[in-house]
Amino acid sequence: MTDQSMLARPLKIHLVAGVFCSLVFLTFLLLEKYNAHLESETEKLSIVQTNFDQMIKTVDQIDLTLDKVRAVLPADYEERSNRELMFMALDEMRSVLKGADIMVSDFVENPELKEIRIPINIFVPLKTYRAMLENTGYLQSLKFPFLTINGIRIEKTESHGTAYNINSILRIPMRKFEYQARMGSDNEDE
Amino acid sequence: MFSFLPFSKKNVIVSFEDDAVRVIYGSNARGALRVDDSLTLKSDQFDSFIENERAKNFTVVKHFKDFFQETFLIPSVKKKFIKNLIETEIRKKISIQDFSYLYSLSKEKIVENRKMKKAFVFVVRNDELRDIVERFHRHGKRVSAIYPDIYVQAEMVKSCNEGTALCVSESGLNKNLFLVKDGQISFIRSLESDEIGLNDFDIENINMTGDYLWQTLRTTPSRVILLGSVCFNYNATKVPMTPAASFLPPVNIAQSREFSLGFISPISALFGKKELTLLPVEYKSLYMKQALIVYATVLFVLLSVTGIGSIANTANNIMETKKNFRAVRNSLPTLGSVLNEYDTKLSELDKYKPEISYSNKLSSAHDFQKLLYDLSSTSTTGLGIDSIDLNINKNVFESIISGSIVADNYETMEKHYQNFLESLNEIEGFRVIDHNINLERKYFRVEGSYR
């Protein structure tokens, strides 16, 4: 047996062991990488799950908000125009504020503030202070359209005795389509 | 299989002695010699023996007929230079270039004012050594060590005797005479005899060797030690001039005394040391390479086993992670329905966005009702309010209250007026900015702000 042949067999075994060892470690590395990838994906999926939970909560919150909005909006808000709603509010005001003299100016549309407004001056003879408080509260509680009070003057008059004068604005937001249409026509004009 | 060192615990020792080959199976663990089995073969039977023998490593003891011995002086130098010096000296003295050798050094002494050491060398041709090794290699076996018989015999004698001794052993018809001094061989003589054992001719040779030692080395052995078969084949009528004694190996063996004397060479190999082997460097290197490959293979195997363990662990982790992944995935609601609902609600909310933002903006509008209510709680005793003017200026209520005071005297008038002012200031957020009272007309005017 030559020197080379004496080394050949151990070398072959060594080579096989080396290749096997390399395969084992390659497999180990691949599995480790796969495991890391899997862990990363699981983590991402957990984030997705959290986001899903958040989305479900958000949907619930949106529902609550929509309920609140719908509760505030007039029942036929969708069907009626803003002008109609404002006229309806004026009519209601007249019926609630008995004996009041309501002076109305023209409609003013303000695309920048995205609203339609009517300046209103309400003159009401003062029956009782409590009635005045209630009327003021009623006017402040109006929604769609809203009534913004700019000033109140209570004074003694010769003709009506004590009376109060409410300087206010009846206002309602422009609908999205109205606003878009308005902005569109303005652009066309330009 | 993997042992390449000459002193493994269990040795198969092969002793080549002329036409005979003696084999023993023994060990020398921590100085406790043990021979378990033995056999004697003829030289031509050896190949079939080695073919069938299961052991892979063998220790060889050989009686070298063709060797070179010399004693010479070398300068006392550092240990690392000694081998080169000795090799150079050997090459000067003999013609062969390819050789293996053993050497021993005497104590340092001064020769011609120089520190010198006496070196004794025992040189053997590598061709002869290769023939031995290749004979084993042909059958896939390895030779751990090749010992010259006299060296291991001297090592054995050294372990039991002190002082200077002339040892006598035989290998076939050859008689080996060697001087063991200070634990080292310092002289060897190999003589051809006409029969086995010792006869008068051999005794004369021993006596002559003693004289020669005195004349050349100025040494007289204190005893003659008979080793091996010469002990029980003593056929001489003459006696050595130096007292002679037989040497019995200190071996724990089941066989008889005759056996231990007959197998003296292989038994003495149990005393062999690394320094006494004549195995050529090329084979040491070959075995070293083999050992390295084997150790590296073992390392690979160990790493593979560790790797397989790690793979199993990682696979377990993967199973666990997959389980978690599935659990998370299964716990997710149907993606489409949630997204659709989310989008629908968002678009619905978006439709009311102007209304919501508008409502939010106006919800913070100024509360006239509250201010009017707060004003109703003020103290107006003795006062007649003519007018109240409430206006918004830069998000702050500006109020002007005017009226008359009804009182009989100034003191009461002042009291009512101050009470009114105090009650105004008690309104949270209300602050009187300016006020005046006209005593002549009994008229007052108060300006205030309210946040």
B265/B151 Cα distance (integer angstroms)? 10
**Interface contact A138, partner B, CB < 8 A:** no
Q: Does ipTM surpass 0.95 in this model?
A: no
Backbone angles phi, psi at B172, to 5 degrees: 65, -125
**Interface contact A13, partner B, CB < 8 A:** yes
Amino acid symbol at A141 = S
Question: DSSP string covering B234-291, please?
Answer: B--SS--SS-EEE-----EESS-HHHHHHTHHHHHGGG--GGG----HHHHHHHHHHH
**Interface contact A19, partner B, CB < 8 A:** no
Q: Which two tokens stand for residue B39?
A: 């056999």
Q: Which residue of B has its CA nearest to A135?
A: B369
**B-chain residues within 8 Å CB-CB of A55?**
338-339, 342
pLDDT at residue B86 tops 80 = yes
CB contact under 8 A, B311 and A66: no
Cis check: omega of the bond before B243, within 30 degrees of 0: no
Return the bridge partners of A32, or none: none
For the stretch A54-105, pLDDT in tens is 888 999 999 998 898 888 888 888 888 888 889 999 999 999 988 889 999 8
Nearest C-alpha neighbor of A171 from the set A146, A188, A154, A150: A146
Mutation pick from B57, B334, B359, B392 vs chain A, by most beta carbons of A within 10 Å, is B359
**Interface contact B292, partner A, CB < 8 A:** no
pLDDT at residue B9 tops 60 = no
CB contact under 8 A, A140 and B353: no
CB contact under 8 A, B372 and A136: yes
pLDDT at residue B36 tops 90 = no
Q: What is the pLDDT of residue B364?
A: 65
Please calculate the CA angle B251-B255-B261 and round it to the nearest 5 degrees.
Answer: 65
Q: What is the pLDDT of residue B49?
A: 92
B389/B355 Cα distance (integer angstroms)? 32
Q: Which two tokens stand for residue B298?
A: 């073992």
Q: What is the pLDDT of residue B275?
A: 87
**B-chain residues within 8 Å CB-CB of A144?**
355, 359
Buried b (16+ CB within 10 A) or exposed e, A41-61: ebeebeeeeeebeebeeebee
Please calculate the CA angle A72-A75-A77 and round it to the nearest 5 degrees.
Answer: 85
Backbone angles phi, psi at B34, to 5 degrees: -150, 130
B31/B12 Cα distance (integer angstroms)? 17
Of the pLDDT bands very low, low, confident and very high (cuts 50, 70, 90), residue B4 is: very low
Taking the whole predicted model, whether its pTM rises above 0.80 is answered as no
pLDDT at residue B8 tops 60 = no
B161/B164 Cα distance (integer angstroms)? 9
Residues in B 200-259 with any Cβ partner in A closer than 8 A: none
Identify the three-state secondary structure at position A106. Answer: coil
| Pick from B324, B345, B392: CB nearest A62 | B345
Tokens 């009686």 — which residue?
Answer: B63
For the stretch B286-328, pLDDT in tens is 889 988 999 999 999 999 999 999 999 999 999 999 998 888 8
What count of other Cβ atoms lies within 10 Å of the Cβ of residue B398? Answer: 16
**B-chain residues within 8 Å CB-CB of A165?**
none
| Pick from B138, B290, B345: CB nearest A10 | B290
Nearest C-alpha neighbor of B64 from the set B166, B151, B165, B163: B151
pLDDT at residue B6 tops 80 = no
Task: Please state whether beta strands B223-226 and B165-171 pair in parallel, antiparallel, or not at all (unpaired).
Answer: parallel
